Amino acid sequence: MTHIKRETKETRIDIKIDIKGNGKSNISTGIGFFDHMLETFAKHSGIDMEIFCDGDIDVDYHHTVEDVGIVLGEALYKEIFPVKNIERFANAVAVLDEAAVEVDLDIGGRPYLVYEIPDGRIRDFDLELIEEFFKSLVFNFKIAAHIVYKRGTNKHHIIESAFKSFAVALRRALTYRESGIPSTKGVL
């Protein structure tokens, strides 16, 4: 289990994760839609997560969403690196009614994000913040992720499909394998 606390002028965050969990979560960021997406991520990744954030959501949701991504990425990095005995590469497409998003991952220590999801709003939540979350997560986790919209019209379904696809791809990439380092270099 990894436990990280981070405090800035804009947010106070406390995150605990266990990658050998079963997807239990206890999440409170003050942003209902974001909490729902993080609960979905925990459930479908099989990672136990406790995430608490007290942020300046009266100003905007940006700091909370971005900073949770930063700290969650740091926690995942601490749990998984140095990489050995995992599949490393994985992909998934999670379908939610009419929506489908594909996620391809490389747990290889080289941060990169391709994010191709339509923007918009769900109530008072700007969907551009989802890209900020994944950017912060990916760069602090030091992985490569391609998150690509395939189809769908319902914004909630599309974003939830992205979180589920990311979670399933991560679970698959962390699958145990007998051989050591999954790299021709011998090091990640």
> What global pTM score does this model have?
0.94
Question: Which sequence spans correspond to the domains of the chain?
Answer: 2-173
Q: Give the per-residue pLDDT at 118.
A: 94
Instruction: Encode 160-169: b = buried (16+ Cβ within 10 Å), e = exposed.
Output: bbbbbbbbbb
The percentage of the chain sitting over the pLDDT mark of 70, rounded to a whole number, equals 95
Distance of alpha carbon 106 from alpha carbon 56, whole angstroms: 33
Q: Is pLDDT at 182 greater than 70 in this prediction?
A: no
Q: Give the per-residue pLDDT at 7.
A: 97
Q: Give the per-residue pLDDT at 184.
A: 64
Q: Tens digit of pLDDT for each residue in 152-177?
A: 999 999 999 999 999 999 999 999 87
Top CATH class, 2-173: alpha beta
Using pLDDT thresholds of 50, 70 and 90, give the confidence band for residue 178.
Answer: confident
Q: Tens digit of pLDDT for each residue in 37-74?
A: 999 999 999 999 999 999 999 999 999 999 999 999 99
Distance of alpha carbon 101 from alpha carbon 93, whole angstroms: 6
Task: Tally DSSP H helices, then E strands, for the chain.
Answer: 4, 10
Structural element, H or E, at residue 76? helix 62-80
